[in-house]
Amino acid sequence: MTFTNGPIDGLVVRELVAHADPRGWLTELFRSDEVKEEFMPVMAYVSATLPGVARGPHEHVHQADFFCFVGPSVFKIVCWDNRRRSRTYGNTVTLEAGAGKPMSVLVPPGVVHGYKNIGDAEGWVLNFPNRLYAGKGKKEKVDEIRHELDPSSIFIID
């Protein structure tokens, strides 16, 4: 399978706007009036990624990820539309976000995605997925296909 640069149906990318004043700044990460109900978050977490480290690529069967890249480092984000029934099947999108360019990226189920800290500082990523990790009470199988564990994977961040 060969992927082509192009848009991906359902992938929603928004630049985040920092509203600054003498105290610092504030950025709205998401609003319920801007997110389709099927993607409405049910939990939240923050992760720290060291310089040069990648997370993913992986995909979910049912879960949508709602990432916010706010810094203090810079990330390369790559998404591949791996949904055979999608109009944009076979397309890939590469983004750069974080310090100086905060961004949210809503990744629908079936879209393979990963990111790498390409800056020189620890970087933070917030995620607001629409499914609970390991289900209610953490008693279900994790909805994740981890392509990064396959040495012959066609999904490569760099």
Residue 78 lies in a domain: yes
Residue 73 lies in a domain: yes
Residue 103 lies in a domain: yes
Could you tell me which residues are beta bridge partners of residue 112?
80
CATH number at residue 118: 2.60.120.10
Residue 23 lies in a domain: no
SS3 category, 125: strand
Domain that holds residue 66: 4-18+36-130
Residue 72 lies in a domain: yes
Task: Report the chain's terminal Cα–Cα distance, integer Å.
Answer: 17
Q: Per-residue confidence of the chain (158 residues) as pLDDT tens digits?
A: 899 999 999 999 999 998 999 988 889 999 999 999 999 999 999 999 999 999 999 999 999 999 999 999 999 999 999 999 999 999 999 999 999 999 999 999 999 999 999 999 999 999 999 999 999 999 999 999 999 999 999 999 98
Beta strands in the chain (DSSP E): 4-5, 12-15, 18-21, 24-27, 45-49, 54-59, 65-71, 74-81, 91-98, 103-107, 111-117, 123-127, 145-146
Report the number of distinct structural domains present in the chain.
1
